[in-house]
Structure 1
Amino acid sequence: MTATSSLLLDVQGLKTWFHTRAGIVKAVDGVSLQLQHGEILGLVGESGSGKSITGFSLMKLVDEPGRMQAERLYFNGQDLQSLPDEEYRRLRGRDMAMIFQDPMMTLNPTLRVDTQMIEAIRAHKRVSRKAARDRAIQVLGMVGIPSPADRLLVYPHQLSGGMRQRIAIAIALLNEPRLIIADEPTTALDVTIQGQILYEVQKLCRELGTALIWITHDLAIVSGLADRLAVMYAGRIVETGPTGQIIGGAQHPYTHGLISSIPSVDTRGKDLFQIPGSTPSLLDLPPGCPFQARCYRASLQCVNPPVLEETAPGHWVSCWHKGEQA
């Protein structure tokens, strides 16, 4: 794995389990992630795979009955598990920020945009209202909002969905955080706005050196955005590596199925590949590999838990039959 000294984020064995009356839901079950300064990581998987809960866990936004623990959880050399709640609160918004799938989870409908943005700055920095307002105008311009000074004076409901999402992204960028976690922020937007936001986010990460975890179910989007991909299934990472290596040569059958289901020029007029079945209940996972019931490579060996192994430099796969064809 990467040398720890160069890492912004070092997560080993992250577990977030929900203790319910029906049993324990292992939403995140032993996830390990490493992220360097300025790097973009795509966290990919179907709905229910644990992607969003991983993001919420890193931000310490998981409520009861969820319980989070990790073998190692370091951010910029700091042990996050030892931080008091008040210290963690100061860290959020200043050094770590999150963009939610629904911008109305970020924006307060009863407050004007300027009030919300100025408060977000002054909660972490001792600056005047004028300096905070100038910074808000600057960042709105950075995410491509026209007439940013005018947009500050409106309420969220007076803006389109695309504008609201850009403002949510701008709020995440206000204090120049070292890490942004984006939870499917473009899912509800049309393709044109989606493309513009992806371009702006990528550009900002390059210019500011901000690291980004982009959570999505859409491999087509993240393949052109991310430096590395981590593919999640049933609360676990099953494959991770450089984007080009995974898109060009997926080793895990689940990753291969996700890529094969994307329309392309070559698939015109043909039926798209479909992964059979659905994600198993996290309350009652089968022993061994959780993907075995849907896998065309499955064998008796798959009742044993597969080990995450390095198949090429930086490319790790958790499968007994990695790389095999149907």
Structure 2
Amino acid sequence: MTDIIDQHAPPRSDVVLDVRGLKTWFPTRAGEVKAVDEVSFSLTRGRVLGLVGESGSGKSVTGFSIMGQLEPPGRVVEGSILFGGRDLTTLDRESMRRLRGKRIAMIFQDPMMTLNPVLKVGTQMIEAILAHDQVSKAQARERSTAALAAVGIPSPAERLSAYPHQLSGGMRQRVAIAIALLHRPELIIADEPTTALDVTIQAQIIAQVQRLVRELGMTLIWITHDLSVVSRLADDVAVMYAGRIVEYGKAEDVLNAPRHRYTVGLIESVPSRNRPGERLRQIDGITPSLLALPTGCAFRTRCDAADAQCAAAQPLRTHGTHSHRCCHPVAAHEALR
């Protein structure tokens, strides 16, 4: 199998995360739901990967697979997730617990998946530090205060005494990000952390995340359906559809000269690309059921260019550092209207 790793692999000493042929399936009475099917990518230190796709494309399941936090009956059935030379799919629960929060952290869309509503912010942050580091409570409190200040929370020492319900939505998300940063992890997975926030707060948080990633040299996977966020934040973009990566490359290449017709559809669906009064563009049809995917290209049932060739398995085609799975790629001069 030709995969993204082979085509875009950076020097191995710089690789933080190396995902190869990942398959995450959910058994149901109707059959196997192939939520993630042969996904491969690698990330070097300090890079930001934008993992993009519609709801149900498999992007969040990819993040939970890396974190070892799949909800039963979901399971990784094949592939490897190499982090620091160790395959995370082979680690037991205790080994993964020691990694989570310390070397790998996740920021959720809903900050209340991180925060306990009945505990003060300071209590939760201090416990998170003491779970991995042997330091005094005073030192842990000092680190917690510094982490809150780093994500732009005013009067951080006072906020340690607050309960989550006493904070705004944007403030709670900043606290969740601060908790993820407490141990300066090598890898952070952010699962649509700004989706529920207004655009002003969203822009502030994205700017702060960019600054922290740059200053701390961390690697970031930003999972989102919002291409405007990806254009501001990501170094590389992986576009997912029906459990597979259909396009991958540097952000400027994928967003400015997309080759896969699904990527083109996503970009043209962004409202800001439409003239005032013009009908919003959209991708025809709906995502097929993961229980009954069409043979070959899963997008072919929604694609105007589909023909008999698209019913065959689509290998990854690579042009320089830009890859796609399409036998009728969009030419550069016609990619975007």
Q: TM-score range by the shorter chain?
A: over 0.9
Residue 21 of structure 1, CA deviation: 1.0
In 2 relative to 1, CA 290–122 (structure 1 residues): closer, same or farther, beyond 3 Å? same
- Helix, strand or coil for the counterpart of 2:26? strand
Asked if the contact 1:14–1:68 (Cα under 8 Å) also holds between the matched residues in 2, the reply is yes
Q: Which moved more, 1:16-25 or 1:73-82?
A: 73-82
SS in 1 for 2:40: strand
Bigger shift: 56-65 or 75-84?
Answer: 75-84
Note the C-alpha offset of 1:84: 2.1
| C-alpha separation in 1, matches of 2:79 and 2:55 | 26
> Secondary structure of 1:28's partner?
strand
Gaps of 5+ in 1: none
Q: CA deviation at 1:167?
A: 0.3
C-alpha separation in 2, matches of 1:60 and 1:244: 31
Show CA shifts across 1:120-164 (max 9, x none): 111011010001100000010000000000100011011110000
Q: Show structure 2 runs of 5+ residues with no match.
A: 1-7
Task: State the TM-score, normalized to the length of structure 2.
Answer: 0.94
Task: Please point out which of 1, 7, 21 is paired with 1:13.
Answer: 21
Q: Offset at 1:69?
A: 3.5
Query: What TM-score, normalized to structure 1?
Result: 0.97
**RMSD in angstroms over aligned alpha carbons?**
1.2
Match for 1:302 among 289, 292, 310? Answer: 310
Q: CA deviation at 1:322?
A: 1.2
Q: What percent of counterpart residues are identical?
A: 60
Counterparts of 1:13 and 1:69 in 2: how far apart (Å)?
A: 10
Q: Work out whether 1:171 is the aligned partner of 2:179.
A: yes
Distance 1:48 1:179, change over 3 A: same
Q: SS at the partner of 2:233?
A: coil
Q: Is the 8 A contact 2:274 2:280 kept in 1?
A: no
Equivalent residue for 2:324, pick from 313, 317, 321: 317
**Separation in 2 of the partners of 1:4 and 1:11?**
13
- Aligned partner of 1:233 in structure 2 is 241
> What are the superposed Cα offsets for residues 183-237 of structure 1, whole Å, 9 maximum, x if unpaired?
0000000011000000000000000001000000010111110000000000000
Structure 2 counterpart of 1:280: 288
Q: Secondary structure at the match of 1:224?
A: helix
2:268 counterpart residue number: 260
- The CA distance in 2 between the partners of 1:27 and 1:81, in whole Å, is 17
Determine the C-alpha separation between the residues in 1 that align with 2:280 and 2:41. 31
Point out the more displaced range, 278-287 or 74-83: 74-83
How far does residue 266 in structure 1 lie from its aligned partner after superposition?
A: 6.0
The number of residues matched between the two structures is 325
CA distance in 2, matches of 1:46, 1:127: 43
Q: Which residue of 1 aligns with 2:104?
A: 96
Give the letter aligned to residue 193 of structure 1.
I
User: Structure 1 residue 262: deviation in Å?
Assistant: 1.3
Output one character per residue of 1:75-125: Cα deviation in whole Å (capped at 9) or x when no partner. Answer: 122222232221111000000000000001110001000010001111011
Tell me the SS of whatever aligns to 1:267. Answer: coil
On the 8 A contact 1:15/1:69 being kept in 2, the answer is: yes
Within the alignment, does 1:213 sit opposite 2:221 as a pair? yes
CA deviation digits over 1:230-287, x for unaligned, max 9?
A: 0000000000100001111000000000111113366333222210011111111111
Q: Is the 8 A contact 1:12 1:70 kept in 2?
A: no
Residue in structure 1 matched with residue 5 of structure 2 by the alignment = none
Cα displacement string for residues 28-49 of structure 1 (whole angstroms, at most 9, x for unaligned residues):
1111111000100000000010
